[in-house]
Amino acid sequence: MENMVNVFLFGKKYQVPDNLTIMRAMEYAGYELVRGCGCRNGFCGACATIYRIAGDRDLKACLACQTKVEDNMYVATLPFFPLVKQVYDIETVNTTEQVMMQLYPEIYACVGCNACTNACTQGLNVMQYIAYAQRGDFEACAEESFDCVMCGVCSSRCPAGISHPQVAMLARRINGKYLAPKCGHLEDRVQEIKDGSFTELIEALMQKPIDEMKELYNTREIEK
């Protein structure tokens, strides 16, 4: 017999195996997930969830696809959170700190409460990468925010109304296009992929077990 725990989904109590993620537990309980479930096997940011454990005053945020259930967990999923997404042309965008003042001036109203960092489902130092963006240090902002999955939980907790994921996305785009050194052989490899040179290899890779794919990814050689 599996170890069962009590979880409360949308106000109703269910018993589910304790080795399930929140997302799998919802399916086990009979919910059909047709929206807000993303890629189902990794970080996508579409399944932002808040929960509280009975007897614990803290309200916690997570991604339902990667967080296991706990006994007496009260779960509420978050709908799409409306982030401010400014329109710009990356081909002509200003690459100085002025671009942030023009597009996302609210970042300069940050009060340093660190609620964004505390809420981040990926454990990122969100307030720090916003500080980098304020100074126009887009390379540092891009590095600090690299694992952002755009779930928007940080922005939902921000008293200044900052759209942190969109600020980070702009910094990464500027860094990738204008600041990071050009990698000619990467462009050649992308073209080879488009030409089908690696189709057979890619298809073989897709057939591997998830654990083996994770091991290949985690032990890959990273170019400096």
Closest CA to 88 of 171, 155, 203, 181: 171
Q: What is the pLDDT of residues 54-64, one digit of tens each?
A: 999 988 999 89
| Cβ contacts of 136 within 8 Å, gap of 6 or more | 96, 97, 98, 100
pTM, 2 dp? 0.77
21 shares a domain with 49: yes
Look at residue 214 in the predicted model and tell me its pLDDT: 87
166: how many CB neighbours lie within 10 A of its CB? 18
User: Which CATH number goes with the domain that contains 63?
Assistant: 3.10.20.740
126-135 vs 164-174: helix crossing angle, rounded to 10: 50
Q: Does some domain include residue 52? A: yes
Q: Does some domain include residue 221? A: no
How many folded domains does the chain comprise? Answer: 3
41 shares a domain with 64: yes
The range of the structural domain enclosing residue 10 comes to 4-77
204 shares a domain with 170: no
* pLDDT per residue as tens, the chain (224 positions): 579 999 999 889 999 999 999 999 999 999 887 665 666 655 577 888 999 999 999 889 998 988 999 999 999 987 767 789 999 999 999 899 899 999 999 999 999 999 999 999 999 999 999 999 999 999 999 999 999 999 999 999 999 999 999 999 999 999 999 999 888 888 899 999 999 999 999 999 989 998 998 899 889 887 76
Structure token pair of residue 34 = 């047709």
Of 28, 44, 77, the residue at which a domain comes to its end is 77
Q: Does some domain include residue 223? A: no
Look at residue 37 in the predicted model and tell me its pLDDT: 66
Q: Does some domain include residue 93? A: no
Q: What does each C-alpha distance from 173 to 85, 127, 161, 166, 167 come to in angstroms?
A: 14, 19, 22, 11, 10
Q: How far is CA 15 from the centre of its chain?
A: 29
